[in-house]
């Protein structure tokens, strides 16, 4: 049955245990947040001995349910100081679930400061020295590990940024092509892994099994209905497979919500040059793959392969957030440069959103000129080299603002804002302000309803209705993240009633339960409540649930809007 | 009568107004904190348009009371995010008071980003361009201003660090020799001044008058008793005048509380080489001045003049805190190097405590070796040049910890700890943890009672009694800072009952009041309550009133103590 692995980096022991009562019925984000909330002292140092780093596949992980292989990583965040769950695609989620592992909990600090790697196979868990991997990027790390362990395994690893414990460091997960292109990017969890001296985890699913199901037939039937909904919805069935997430560039630009030049405008004149349509076009021209999944079991397949002009592999398709952060927000319109930057970010292991914001804030502070793609590539090279300038950038946008005296720093709880201006997409502004994770679009993606009119229609420019929208989405998202489902399933789930029912049916069929839709909502609320409890004990208050003041002071063109959802309303988001 | 000057940096207006009802009866810290609490939005950007920078002499400023010329500077702090009052010696306090100015309030931001200077004379207030001062250090700034305004005036100015808006930037005040050696160092108030585009204030006391007194004779008599107490107490009458504040090096080292190598030990083997006795000895040998006041009206005169081996002026005597921060805490035992660093810090305008901690944390992170004085001088030169490494250091110890992945970062509310290890001087540990200002020894100097047995005797190594001690001292200090008195008057005030009575008598004689000793205590409580109210609204909670966890986890030699005052007790400090 499923178990929890306890990995102690001080005495280098690995122990497996039954899932304690308190954690039963949880997976993914629900499980990582429960463990952090219960076991981590909220005021501890995020890179000290009392933080814990947790990896957990979702409740539906290890099954044949489409898009159920996300992996959640949790800890107290070095970037925000809050509880953090950052989830990722790639192979790790499915592999761990098939090995019967509900969570890996990495504890304490190494006594000798040396690096280790952790091997996980069928009933075999082993820590071993990894000093030969010291200083390597994720690509070189994975190459070396492939030489040793083959390519039928999954990897989680950190690059140099994680070793340096930079607050923007990510945890990389290898994809279906065994490349380290999928990242738990947000919140600096790579720094926690680095502090623990854990360079990589190797997950060998040999002899693993599809997760046991209480009612196989019911599960199969529900999974089929769920897959059908994913295929039929316009976003998951057509938009994402064809243009990737970068399909959003032109949509959000049109809506006047594409933050440009460090959030100085909501429209970028050259948006189309970096949009999904262009990405698709040049990928087809260069004979790359425009439609590609990031993990086994994905049927959306939004991640293409980006080739350079010579047809050589550069990176996976940069996500919309990445294209935005390094494109419009830095006034850059060169997709090739952005793809190269994406590759470097994946290699050194940093969050592309945080780093792109770092660079935009630095440009706003006069360190480099907006619009200079070569300068942006120089800056990411500074991060890769670990120079003092690179350390500033790699510590996140708030530190950049401090170092260069910039007051227009788009962060909430110290985490940089993603690719939707909260003045033009006010629902996501509520999510940024109030999320337990710092500014995070994935925590309650109100863009869907504000802009794409999925799951209803709430005017993006009006304050009215945004708090309820964000509340409902934050609850639903916490449940989706607990199931290990890709967030994009939310599009059909919001629009097609049976898609949601199918998710509940699958959970029931797997665990032999009889949950209702309300129970799933209650699960989401339970997860948020645990996260809020941790944050409160860590010292967070309503004063932290606010956007930076410049979003209230500066009007955003073309709509000339400020963020005007009242503070008192923000304080009711978690009234449930 | 006394008035408040409102200086608006956006429209470049200067207006004088009567002291509003809400601020009457307040001066110094009491007045700056009242204005910040009432007029500044607690969640605003510290370097944005909604912060205000306030200068205020104390209630006894402008009189012939000994040591009454301190000036308070207040704002929301760029370093801590809390309310901040940082006070300084020098001439500004007395000069402003003699011109009838209770406070200068600097508001808004310049529209053109240019620098200005503010002239204040008898009923004459003028803003004028100061771009010729751009990029200059405080010494060169004061030299240029002296050429224009003569040397019978006082200056407040910022160096490059303030222009760059670094979180460790100070505000410099010229001393009796018209040198910029006295600093409101803590909390980055120089960055606020820089954000306002205000390079310097020139205060011309010509035609100013000694502050009016309601009862001249009573005042004169009380002032005499007060001066007598200052002269008779061993600390203010002998120790400080002879050895400066650096007299503490050997005392605190002996007590095992001298933080060494970034708080790894409480004893420094070469302490004596940087102690006050050595400082006095080499100053006499080099024919410098071992006893020198920093402001008119000072009768303690703890600040000598430091000459180099050739007899050339280097700096004022580095304070104990400075010697410690750059000496024992970096394992450096070279007083000449420390004095040169002190000079550079004064020139670029940075807090020597914060920067010394920045360097010690950087050394702990392997950036340079402990004990390398030349490396420390190189690092302060990086700050002066504004290189990326210098920006990291100048942003304070917490940012250094982020940039270089160091978890042993001695800060509370992001402000670096001063020169007393809280594990060996537990009373000051309570003050560090709970002060409204972040870690600050001056907020409640329990060292006096823990180590010097002034005002009683509370065992420095025991948790018992420290909360009450810190509470009483924090209240008394808020009152002393409101009066504009040098904190060193606390030694006689704590030990000689009549010294305290004399202070109350002087306030009464000046303002025609009949306050009791209890009223002065209530004044201190009122100030602390306003500060706590601001901080609460800014989002601070009991979770912020804690020392970093390594003080609880690592024992400090030679006493092998951890900081063990229980959290629940810390939460009662402000129960009054």
Residue B324 sits in a domain whose CATH number is 1.10.569.10
Helix axis angle for A352-364 and A373-385, nearest 10°, is 120
Nearest residue of chain A to residue B365 (CA atoms): A164
Tell me the residue ranges of DSSP E strands in A98-181. Answer: 101-107, 116-121, 124-129, 154-157, 171-173
- CA-CA distance, A373 to A338, in Å (whole number)? 8
Question: Mutation test of the interface with chain A: which of B44, B386, B397, B405, choosing the one with the most A Cβ atoms within 10 A?
Answer: B405
- CA-CA distance, B540 to B544, in Å (whole number)? 6
Q: Which pLDDT does position A392 carry in this prediction?
A: 98
- In a shared domain, residues B9 and B143: yes
Taking contacts as CB-CB distances below 8 angstroms, the residues of chain B near A407 are 45, 47-48, 195
A407, B45: Cβ pair inside 8 Å?
yes
Q: DSSP label at A417?
A: P
- Looking at the domain assignment, is residue A82 inside a domain? yes
Query: Residue holding tokens 């609204």?
Result: B537
Dig out the tokens for A121 from the structure: 């196979």
ipTM of the complex: 0.96
Domain boundary (B363, B393, B421) is at: B421
- In a shared domain, residues A46 and A185: yes
Taking contacts as CB-CB distances below 8 angstroms, the residues of chain A near B165 are 405
- Looking at the domain assignment, is residue B110 inside a domain? yes
Q: Which of A34, A35, A46 is nearest to A6 (CA)?
A: A35
- CA-CA distance, A337 to A271, in Å (whole number)? 15
Low-confidence ranges of chain B (pLDDT < 70): 1
Question: Mutation test of the interface with chain A: which of B403, B533, B546, B549, choosing the one with the most A Cβ atoms within 10 A?
Answer: B403
- In a shared domain, residues A315 and A170: no
B43, A546: Cβ pair inside 8 Å?
yes
- In a shared domain, residues A144 and A7: yes
B549, A405: Cβ pair inside 8 Å?
no
- 3 state SS of B303: coil
Taking contacts as CB-CB distances below 8 angstroms, the residues of chain A near B404 are 164, 391
Q: How far is A77 from chain B (nearest CA, A)?
A: 12
Q: How far is A323 from chain B (nearest CA, A)?
A: 26
Q: How far is A369 from chain B (nearest CA, A)?
A: 17
Tell me which residue in A165, A195, A405 faces B164 most closely, judged by beta carbons: A405
Q: How far is A85 from chain B (nearest CA, A)?
A: 20
Peptide bond into B372 cis (omega under 30): no
- Looking at the domain assignment, is residue A208 inside a domain? no
Q: How far is B44 from chain A (nearest CA, A)?
A: 6
- CA-CA distance, B25 to B115, in Å (whole number)? 34
Cα three-residue angle B431-B433-B438, rounded to 5 degrees:
90
Q: Which pLDDT does position B1 carry in this prediction?
A: 63
End-to-end CA distance of chain B: 34
Question: Mutation test of the interface with chain A: which of B402, B433, B554, choosing the one with the most A Cβ atoms within 10 A?
Answer: B402
Nearest residue of chain B to residue A543 (CA atoms): B539
A392, B404: Cβ pair inside 8 Å?
no
Q: Which pLDDT does position A1 carry in this prediction?
A: 63
Interface A-B: count of C-beta contacts within 8 A: 109
Q: Structurally, how many domains does chain B consist of? A: 3
- In a shared domain, residues A411 and A444: no
- Looking at the domain assignment, is residue B496 inside a domain? yes
Dig out the tokens for B80 from the structure: 């801590």
Low-confidence ranges of chain A (pLDDT < 50): none
Q: Which of A267, A248, A251 is nearest to A318 (CA)?
A: A248
Q: Which pLDDT does position A353 carry in this prediction?
A: 98
Tell me which residue in A392, A543, A548 faces B539 most closely, judged by beta carbons: A543
Q: Which pLDDT does position B211 carry in this prediction?
A: 87
- Cβ atoms of B167 and B395 closer than 8 Å: yes
Dig out the tokens for B369 from the structure: 């070796």
Residues 6+ apart with CB under 8 A from B518: none
Cα three-residue angle B464-B469-B473, rounded to 5 degrees:
165
Dig out the tokens for A566 from the structure: 């009242």
- Looking at the domain assignment, is residue A148 inside a domain? yes
Residues 6+ apart with CB under 8 A from B47: A405, A407, B78, B165, B191, B192, B194, B195
Helix axis angle for B335-348 and B352-364, nearest 10°, is 120
Q: Which pLDDT does position A422 carry in this prediction?
A: 98
- Cβ atoms of B544 and B445 closer than 8 Å: no
Question: Mutation test of the interface with chain B: which of A405, A541, A571, choosing the one with the most B Cβ atoms within 10 A?
Answer: A405
Give the 3-state DSSP-derived string for B452-521, with helices as H, strands as E and coil as C: CCCCCCCCCCCCCCHHHHHHHHHHHHHHHHHHCCCHHHHHHHHHCHHHHHHHHHHHHHHHCCCCCHHHHH
- In a shared domain, residues A556 and A416: no
Q: Which helix (H) or strand (E) holds A305?
A: strand A305-307
Paired residues of B184 in beta bridges: B171
Residues 6+ apart with CB under 8 A from B24: none
Name all contacts of A446-450 with Cβ < 8 Å and 24+ positions apart.
A446/A470, A446/A473, A447/A248, A447/A252, A447/A420, A448/A473, A448/A490, A448/A491, A448/A494, A449/A473, A449/A494, A450/A425, A450/A426
Tell me which residue in A44, A167, A404 faces B549 most closely, judged by beta carbons: A44
Torsion of CA A169, A174, A176, A177, to 10 degrees: 100
- In a shared domain, residues A125 and A163: yes
- Cβ atoms of A259 and A329 closer than 8 Å: yes
Q: Which of A304, A219, A237, A137 is nearest to A509 (CA)?
A: A219
Q: DSSP label at A77?
A: -
What is the Cα gyration radius of chain A?
22
Residue pLDDT, tens place only, B122-148? 999 999 999 999 999 999 999 999 999
Q: Which pLDDT does position B194 carry in this prediction?
A: 98
Interface of chain B against chain A, CB under 8 Å? 41-45, 47-50, 78, 164-167, 191, 194-195, 387-389, 391-392, 395, 399, 402-405, 407, 537-544, 546, 548-550, 553
The number of residues in chain B equals 576
B48, A407: Cβ pair inside 8 Å?
yes
- Looking at the domain assignment, is residue B426 inside a domain? no
- In a shared domain, residues A166 and A25: yes
Question: Mutation test of the interface with chain B: which of A46, A385, A407, A413, choosing the one with the most B Cβ atoms within 10 A?
Answer: A407
- In a shared domain, residues B132 and B250: no
- In a shared domain, residues B450 and B387: no
B541, A541: Cβ pair inside 8 Å?
yes
- Looking at the domain assignment, is residue A109 inside a domain? yes
Taking contacts as CB-CB distances below 8 angstroms, the residues of chain B near A191 are 405
Q: Which pLDDT does position A211 carry in this prediction?
A: 87
Residue pLDDT, tens place only, A144-176? 999 999 999 999 999 999 999 999 999 999 999
Cα three-residue angle A457-A462-A465, rounded to 5 degrees:
55
Dig out the tokens for B201 from the structure: 């204030």
- CA-CA distance, B327 to B336, in Å (whole number)? 11
Q: Which helix (H) or strand (E) holds A84?
A: strand A83-88
B119-131 as b/e: b if 16+ CB within 10 A: bbbeeebebeebe
Segments forming the whole domain that contains residue A259: 246-420
Q: Please state the φ and ψ torsions of residue B23, each to the nearest 5 degrees.
A: -105, 0
- Looking at the domain assignment, is residue B208 inside a domain? no
What is the Cα gyration radius of chain B?
22
Nearest residue of chain B to residue A398 (CA atoms): B399
Residue B38: CB atoms within 10 A of its CB come to 13
Taking contacts as CB-CB distances below 8 angstroms, the residues of chain A near B42 are 543
Q: How far is A130 from chain B (nearest CA, A)?
A: 20
B191, A47: Cβ pair inside 8 Å?
no
- CA-CA distance, B357 to B376, in Å (whole number)? 11
Interface of chain A against chain B, CB under 8 Å? 41-45, 47-50, 78, 164-167, 191, 194-195, 387-389, 391-392, 395, 399, 402-405, 407, 537-544, 546, 548-550, 553
- In a shared domain, residues B415 and B455: no
Tell me which residue in A388, A404, A407 faces B389 most closely, judged by beta carbons: A388
- CA-CA distance, A78 to A187, in Å (whole number)? 7
Name the average pLDDT for chain B.
Answer: 97
A404, B391: Cβ pair inside 8 Å?
yes
B402, A388: Cβ pair inside 8 Å?
no
- In a shared domain, residues A408 and A428: no
Helix axis angle for A397-404 and B397-404, nearest 10°, is 130
Domain of residue B56, CATH code: 3.60.9.10
Spatial strand order of the sheet with B198-203 comes to: B124-129, B116-121, B198-203, B154-157, B171-173, B182-184
Dig out the tokens for B180 from the structure: 């910029």
B544, A548: Cβ pair inside 8 Å?
no
Q: How far is B174 from chain A (nearest CA, A)?
A: 26
Domain boundary (B150, B173, B203) is at: B203
Nearest residue of chain B to residue A43 (CA atoms): B543
């Amino acid at each position: 049955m499923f178990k929890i692995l306890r990995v102690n980096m001080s005495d280098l022991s690995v122990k497996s245990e039954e899932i304690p009562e308190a954690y039963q019925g949880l997976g993914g984000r629900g499980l990582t947040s429960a463990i952090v909330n219960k076991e981590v002292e909220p005021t501890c140092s995020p890179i000290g001995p009392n933080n814990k780093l947790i990896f957990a596949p979702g409740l539906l992980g290890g099954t044949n349910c489409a898009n159920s292989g996300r992996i959640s990583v949790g800890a107290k965040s070095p970037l925000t100081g809050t509880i953090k769950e950052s989830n990722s695609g790639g192979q790790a989620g499915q592999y761990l679930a098939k090995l019967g592992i509900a969570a890996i909990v990495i504890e304490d600090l190494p006594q000798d400061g040396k690096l280790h790697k952790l091997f996980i196979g069928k009933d075999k868990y082993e820590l071993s020295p990894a000093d030969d991997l010291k200083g390597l990027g994720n690509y070189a790390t994975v190459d070396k590990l492939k030489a040793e362990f083959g390519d039928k395994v999954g990897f989680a690893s950190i690059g140099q940024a994680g070793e340096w414990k930079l607050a923007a460091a990510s945890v990389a997960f290898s994809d279906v092509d065994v490349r380290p292109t999928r990242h738990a990017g947000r919140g600096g969890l790579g720094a926690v892994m680095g502090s623990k001296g854990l360079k990589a985890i190797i997950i060998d699913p040999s002899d693993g099994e599809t997760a046991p199901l209480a009612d196989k037939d019911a599960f199969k039937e529900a999974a089929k209905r769920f897959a059908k909904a994913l295929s039929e919805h316009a976003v998951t069935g057509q938009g994402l497979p064809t243009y990737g997430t970068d399909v959003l560039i032109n949509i959000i630009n049109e809506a006047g919500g594409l933050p440009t030049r460090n959030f100085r405008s909501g429209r970028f004149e050259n948006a189309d040059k970096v949009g999904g349509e262009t990405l698709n076009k040049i990928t087809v021209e260069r004979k790359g793959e425009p439609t590609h999944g990031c993990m086994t079991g994905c049927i959306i397949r939004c991640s293409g392969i980006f080739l350079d002009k010579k047809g050589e592999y550069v990176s996976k398709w940069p996500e919309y957030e990445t294209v935005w952060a390094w494109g419009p927000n830095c006034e850059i319109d060169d997709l090739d440069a952005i793809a190269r930057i994406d590759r470097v970010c994946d290699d050194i292991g940093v969050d592309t959103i945080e780093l792109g914001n770092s660079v935009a804030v630095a440009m706003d502070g006069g360190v480099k000129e907006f619009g200079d793609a070569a300068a942006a590539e120089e800056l990411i090279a500074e991060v890769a080299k670990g120079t003092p300038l690179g350390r500033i950038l790699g510590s996140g946008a708030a530190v950049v603002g401090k170092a260069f005296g910039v007051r227009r720093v788009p962060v909430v709880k110290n985490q940089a804002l993603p690719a939707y201006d909260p003045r033009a997409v006010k629902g996501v502004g509520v999510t940024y302000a109030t999320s337990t994770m710092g500014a995070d679009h994935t925590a309650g993606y109100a863009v869907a309803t504000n802009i794409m009119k999925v799951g209803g229609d709430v005017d993006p420019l009006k304050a009215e209705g945004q708090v309820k929208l964000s509340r409902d989405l934050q609850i639903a998202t916490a449940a989706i993240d607990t199931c290990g489902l890709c967030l994009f399933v939310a599009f059909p789930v919001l629009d097609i009633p049976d898609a949601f029912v199918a998710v509940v049916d699958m959970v029931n069929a797997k665990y032999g339960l009889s949950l209702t839709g309300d129970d799933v909502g209650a699960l989401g609320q339970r997860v948020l409540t645990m996260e809020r409890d941790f944050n409160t004990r860590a010292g967070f208050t309503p004063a932290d649930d606010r956007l930076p003041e410049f979003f209230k002071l500066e009007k955003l063109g073309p709509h000339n809007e400020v963020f005007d959802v009242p503070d008192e309303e923000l304080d009711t988001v978690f009234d449930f």
